[in-house]
Amino acid sequence: MILRKALVVALGLGALNAVCQDTSQVKTIVTCTFSEVYAEEGWTIPGLDGAKRQQHQASKDNPGFFITQLQPVKAETFISPDVSCPYDHPGRLEIKNRPIRVMSLLSWDYEGKVFGYVVFYALQDIQQGVRTELAEASTLQFFDVDGSGRFTVMRPPSDIKRQLAPAIIPGWIQRLSGESPKN
């Protein structure tokens, strides 16, 4: 009986020891996460140069706020730079120029003062000078956070279902409108 109890205790301690390993032996996987990328000089909004205004619509819930659909003159362009975390290299931040095709371009404004853009785009590859569309699309949002006219903050939308809503409303817009809009 005592031998049986000793065996149970020994097996229990062995199992506990296997579970409670020294933390120096546990491998941690470093991930690459960020919520926005700041560029002091401002980002170039893909597809914006020469884009034509197509539709301008007021927000039903937020008086003074508008969303405008723009038609890029040149849809094939680049994201310069594209900042991402490659799935095959955890912890690495990759910065490169990526060829894209702008599928949709929208702007947000408050009483005519543009504070943000959203760009829906298809990733492309260039082989021997020929663009090929990849089976991947993405979205980025750009914001003028200080009212300078420079869109210094680039970020992915915080929620896929709300890609058409701005991820942030800059403080200078909140001061102009007198309240924080309902998203």
pTM: 0.75
- Residue 59 contacts by C-beta under 8 Å, 6 or more apart in sequence? 65, 66, 67, 181
How much is the pLDDT for 99?
A: 93
Q: Are 153 and 143 in contact (CB under 8 A)?
A: yes
Q: What residues does each domain of the chain span? A: 37-177
pLDDT along the chain (183 residues), means of 10: 35 40 55 83 94 93 92 90 78 85 95 95 92 89 96 80 78 84 53
The letter for the amino acid at 161 is: K
How much is the pLDDT for 3?
A: 33
* Rounded-to-integer distance, Cα 123 and Cα 166, Å: 22
Q: Are 174 and 168 in contact (CB under 8 A)?
A: no
